Structure 1
Amino acid sequence: MKILHTSDWHIGRTFHTHQTHDHLRVVLDALVDLVRERGVDVVAVAGDVFDSATPSADSYALLSGTLARLHATGARVVMTSGNHDSATRLGFQSEWAGLAGIHVVTGFDQYRTPITIDDEHGPVHFYGIPFLEPALVRHHYPDELLKTHEQVLGLAMRQVRADLAERGGRSVVLSHCFAAGVAASDVERDISAGGIDLVPAEVFDGPDYVALGHIHGRARIADRVRYSGAPLHYSFAEADKPRGAWLVELDASGLGAVEWVDLPVPRRLSVLTGDLAALAHDDDYAAFENDWVAAVLTDQVRPLDGMRTLQKRFPHCVALEHRPAVTETPEIATYADRVKHKSDPEIVAGFLEFVRNGVGLSDFERALVAEVLGATAAASA
């Protein structure tokens, strides 16, 4: 059996206020082509299908169209809800979708009855564990201590292993969590009210393969426990992380080959560093003109209209940081000490030097300050 492990589609997410539907559609179309070309039997989507608990009509249309095209390939789909999803909205009419082989698992205890799909070697049981917020599920299990995500998933996996022991056969678990051993970027929302709630990898002992979601970069916890990451870049912190999915094969005895398959990147992410004149005019930066750009300006003084100037060359420049290449450390002294026995021009010059990270006045600026102060003094005489 061939399984394509993907997650974190985040349909409806914006990138620096820009909508991403068109780019995500390109990637998901490529994913459908991949399923068809490689003869994938099951597509496993491990949570965060939508980016919001209240998806837009366009987001629903993108999901529905993608699922219809996946169904047309002959593949089955097993999909769970993540911490960004509304389990109720994502799971709406899931009973009907299941009749077409599109299995959407959002109920808090739905994982206890696996989705069983047969191949030539027998049954494969898919246990989809939706995101389970401890505060929202603990009342269902009054005899269990369920204060952390680790404890909730520990209970779920004990139930999965008990069920599997009775059923026999091979198994795949889908879970949306922050497993120990991977690093998060700036886009993964904490999955507990008190902060990041790590889940040890040994919680997932037992199944032949564990398809994880939540972390946006691909990661391997063990051969049989992996993150696929998001199919689209949603932050410059992810710029160097590949986009794709894991193609997992189960043979007669369990886990077989696991292959990483790349997906297209509709628009690259680039962080460009230099002074404004160089970024705006040098040929060295021509290759980045169609990228999403985050610019780091090294000019000693923050340029006026820097973003507007950059966007004339890089229309998709969406972030700007001023980081002077050369700074001087101001002398440590109280304000009274700094102005003691100083003239008005010296006080103004000292203030401007302080707020400009130690960069002093040019001859022109010094003459201009003297002229303004002179005119002010003459007017008040």
Structure 2
Amino acid sequence: MRILHTSDWHIGRTFHGVDLLADQRQVLSEIAAIVRERAVDVVVVPGDVYDRSIPSADAVAVCQRGFEEIRDAGAVIVATSGNHDSPTRLGAGSGFTAAGGLHLLTTVTGIDRPVVLEDAHGPVAFYGIPYLEPEITRTRLGVPSARSHAEIVDAAMGLVRADVAARGARSVVLAHAFVVGAEATGSERSISVGGVETVPASVFSGADYVALGHLHSPQTVTDAVRYCGSPLPYSFGERSHRKAVFVVDLDADGLGAVERVDLPIVRELTELVGELDALVSEPSFAYAHDHYVTAVLTDPVRPVDAMRRLRDRFPHAVHLEWQRPGGQDELEYRRKVRGRTDIEIARSFVTDVRSDPSGSELRLLESALAAAVSEREAAEAGAQAQAGA
């Protein structure tokens, strides 16, 4: 049996305020193309199908279209819910969708009720372990004293192992968790509970393959326990990552081979550093015209209308910051203000965040400081008079 492992679609997510639905539509079509080209039998999606528990109508439409394209390409789909999803909403109508080849495993009670599919070597059981909030699920899993995610997932895997033993089938587990030894990218939402969010890989012993979701970069924890990562980058910290899926082959004895298949880049992410005039005019930056761009401006004076000018050249610029050359860190700034008058501190602040204030601006600062002092003195005098009365 050939399985494609993808996860963390986060449909409906925005990127620095930019709608990503068009990019998500494209990458789901690319996944469907891989399914068709490689004759994939089953696509597994271990969580964070949506980015929000209540997805928009447009996000639902993109998701459904993605499912349809994958199904039309010839694969059965098995998906579970992550910490971003609403298990109830994602799993709505699962009894009907299963008849069409879309299996949504989102409930605690369904953990030991696998989707069983057949190949030439016999049955393969697919188990879905959705994101399990300990406070909500510990009693239903029979571990009322459990507090950590590790204890909860261990209890869930106990149910899975018991069912696998009874069936004698090969098994694939879908789980949404943070496994020890893996690395976060920074764009994942924390799933910590009481400061304990990680799960040891040993919890998943006994499964032929464990398809993990939650972390956004492809990672191999063990040969049989892997993260495929998200299909798109969701932070500039991921700009060096090549997004991918894993194509997994099960043979008669269990796990046969795993191949990483890189996904096409929908739109690259680039960080540009320099003075604004150089960024918007020099030919050396032309390569980033169609990229999502974050810019670090190093102008001596904060540029006016910087984002508009940046977008004139880079239509997909989404973020910028200004780092004044020679800027002070917090400790240096504390030393800088110690022992100085209010007007000296105010003047230095304006210089640090913009440029030296003009004479008229200094007079406005002096007037504002004088008014503040007068107001404070008047308030103190009023309080003393009231106390004396």
Relative to the length of structure 1, the TM-score reads 0.88
Name the residue aligned to 1:369: 359
Q: Distance in 2 between matches of 1:81 and 1:372?
A: 58
Offset of residue 330 of structure 1 = 6.4
* 2:182 partner SS: coil
Could you tell me whether the CA contact under 8 Å between 1:353 and 1:360 is conserved in 2?
A: no
Per-residue CA shift, 1:151-188, capped at 9, x if unaligned? 11001111111211121121110000111112212321
8 Å contact 1:10–1:51 — kept in the other structure? yes
Q: How does 1:181-200 map to 2 (within 5 A)?
A: 181-195=181-195, 197-200=197-200
Question: Gaps (5+ residues) in structure 1?
Answer: 341-346
RMSD, aligned α-carbons: 2.4
Matched with 1:111 is: 111
Deviation at 1:269, TM superposition (A): 0.7
> Per-residue displacement from partner, 1:187-236 (whole Å, max 9, x unpaired)?
21111454460111111111111000000111110111100111111111
State how 1:104-143 maps to structure 2 within 5 Å: 104-142=104-142
Cα distance, 1:327 vs. partner? 4.1
Q: How many pairs were matched up?
A: 362
TM value normalised by structure 2: 0.87
Which 5+ residue runs of structure 2 have no aligned equivalent? 368-389
Residue number in structure 2 paired with 1:343: none
SS in 2 for 1:112: coil
Q: Helix, strand or coil: the match of 1:111?
A: coil
Cα offset for 1:7? 0.4
Identify if the C-alpha distance between structure 1 residues 107 and 330 changes in structure 2 by more than 3 Å, giving closer, same or farther: closer
Deviates more, 1:261-270 or 1:208-217: 261-270
Q: Give the residue type in structure 1 aligned to 2:359.
A: V
Give 1:356's aligned residue: 351
Alignment of 1:199-214 (within 5 A): 199-214=199-214
Alignment of 1:292 with 2:292, yes or no, is yes
Q: How does 1:1-381 map to 2 (within 5 A)?
A: 1-142=1-142, 144-195=144-195, 197-327=197-327, 332=335, 337-339=339-341, 351-357=346-352, 361=356, 369=359
Where 2:138 maps in the other structure, the secondary structure is helix
Matched residue of 1:294: which SS?
Answer: strand
Q: Distance in 1 between matches of 2:260 and 2:68?
A: 24
- Cα offset for 1:295? 0.3
Provide the identity percentage.
46
Structure 1, residues 264-295: CA drift from partner, whole Å, max 9, x if none?
22211111111111111111100001111000
Partner amino acid, structure 2, of 1:352 = R
Cα deviation per residue 1:310-336 (whole Å; 9 max; x = unaligned)? 11111211111112333476693655x
Shift in Å, 1:338: 3.5
Taking structure 1 as reference, are residues 334 and 76 closer, same or farther at Cα in structure 2, changes over 3 Å only? closer
Whole-angstrom distance in 1 between the partners of 2:285 and 2:226: 37
Q: Distance in 2 between matches of 1:333 and 1:219?
A: 46
Letter in 2 for 1:145: S
Q: Partners in 2 of 1:267 and 1:34 — Cα distance? A: 19
What is the letter of the counterpart of residue 231 of structure 1? P
Q: Deviations over 1:48-73 (max 9, x none)?
A: 11111111221221122222222222
Assess if the C-alpha contact under 8 Å between 2:18 and 2:318 holds in 1: no
Decide whether aligned partners of structure 1 residues 316 and 118 sit closer, same or farther in structure 2, where only a CA change above 3 A counts: same
Cα distance, 1:102 vs. partner? 1.2
Tell me if the contact between 1:172 and 1:210 (Cα under 8 Å) persists in the aligned partners.
yes
| Cα distance in 2, alignment partners of residues 3 and 136 from structure 1 | 32
SS at match of 1:125: strand
Contact 1:213 1:228 in 2 (8 A): yes
**Cα distance between partner residues in 2 of 1:3 and 1:97:** 20
Check the 8 A contact 2:302/2:353 in 1, yes or no.
Answer: no
Q: Secondary structure at the match of 2:127?
A: strand
